[in-house]
Structure 1
């Protein structure tokens, strides 16, 4: 556009020379007189607008003419003016609140998230999964693992475990959830006895008298004891009302009560908890668990067929549908968004405009000139073109008026 405007000015200069040459032969009031007036006034208008446009960004012909190179010479003031304009017209709480009053941000977000189109869902899925993986990769695994462990240790240290365990046992007994535990305990006892029959027999033989061993009654006694134990365990297993079961339940109930009321038992449980938390093996175990969890999540997030992206997309779609169809939820979220954005404008508006001002001030004069000229330069060249044409038309009008007089 600059070349075109300059070429038009050159064309007017050539027209002026041609019209002046032929106008001198045919007289000033002939057709050539109008052409000459048009070209002469067009050159004046084009040169004037060229000077005006150029003076905004640089010194015309490099001459130190006052009030030229306006933008480079006043870039700091322009930066402050831009910042003040932005602050007063866009980042005031009143303007932000008024602009957001008619916007349903929650419904718009819900409609977008619930859009079933594959391309939309694919972008959301891929972007969210990759962001999740990058966040996990950027974290120092050892440092984060230690921080999480320290946080868990601190919270568990504040928590008194004994009363909580007592409540859990009481609740399990009340809901009959302890019965499978008793069955498993009886079954485990029977299997343990079966695997260690030789040890039991040896214990009975060693404690039997010499007469019993001499008569062989020790072996019969051992068989009787073992058979009796098997019979008792079988009865406990099949009889829900067996006295031994009642004893076990009574012991569990007493344990639950003691965990909540017995200070000595509570102290022992707390000491065991402290020893367990301070054990380095627990720390190493947690570090391994965290690293496997982190690595697995990263791999799953980036693996196309893992289903992670699909689950994420499904969850986002359900969230979007809820936002889209629930006016009460929309109203709550929109109110929260308005309050948040108005609060941001109130608290950080000055920081935002200061960022704009300081950024422009840090630019050198050439950068400021190039960026502003690149943004509006095309329209400024139209000013030169229009100035050339309008100047020519004004010249013709003046020449016509002079001829008529």
Structure 2
């Protein structure tokens, strides 16, 4: 494709400058075409998997919520985007986390159910997220116990998290937002020089951690009880880091799956409004490939951080979520909601088209999709009646094709759904956060 010409370009000769007319070559060039990626025929091995996909700022709940409940419900205008997968998912209404504060802390508590203000004297206290409970169960069998993806790298800040994953102490686990870095981390083989450098880095990290642990144990004896408890929490994080380094070191001589990046748009930018559709697609493609190759079985993906994000045409998602009941803004918000579900539908198509043991990938993969806030009828950012759906997992014991509608003021906590997923992933427990039981069979 020829390079685009600036509209300021002029012809210069003999000291005369003549402005050019508007030419086709001056029109903005498309930065990327739609993805040409195609699903693989089959997986390396059948395994249970889960991915939790989060969209910020709520949805146009008026166009999201079905009018009737049960197995014979009619798809709402927004959920009609998933019409081809109607029997592959369950939609939930009037459910939320009782302890959630709402607002833009929705991503912080979506998978934890935590009361962030529960600890006296602390402005922020989170709990372990459901995905990390599952990752502990499967981490020994995969190169990566879990993957954290987001449109913003790192962890963000308290109440405006860039990640959905939190460890046993409620510490956020950093997320990756670059498709290129993620692909290299997952699928590009290390050469001899890379391997040596990686081993040196691991050795240095272990040496530093050993030194920190030794000094901390010495300091522990000199502290009061409250400070000892704080130090113990810190030491727990250090030990977890040490275990992660040991796991990565154990996998260094296990070859990575080698995949062709030909149709992966790895240069898509997460914060480029034009790149928005391509970036979501490629991150979901990499998630799909991670599952196909059994590189991991647990993924969390925050499609945009709270108070941010774009629609498929570059619309300001956060601004539209403060619609105040304006009909025009609600209509535009609904367009963004359907754009998001169209990308989810494409991902579900990939899973369903790939053979996986005695079924397809969707049969063995649970896909949780939704938001930690409800922008409501007036844009109030409520923690109640969260937009939620769960797809896949038929071979794990889930039955779909239903709309489960609860009473908004008397409903099972969202943690019941998370506990259900934890159990379906093979974790033997009947406890998680504030769960009172499980939900769907």
Using CA pairs under 8 Å that are at least 6 residues apart, name the structure with larger relative contact order, 1 or 2: 1
Please say whether Structure 1 and Structure 2 have the same fold, judged by a TM-score greater than 0.5. Answer: no
Q: TM-score range by the shorter chain?
A: under 0.3
Structure having the higher strand fraction is 2
Return the TM-score normalized by structure 2: 0.13
Structure having the higher helix fraction is 1
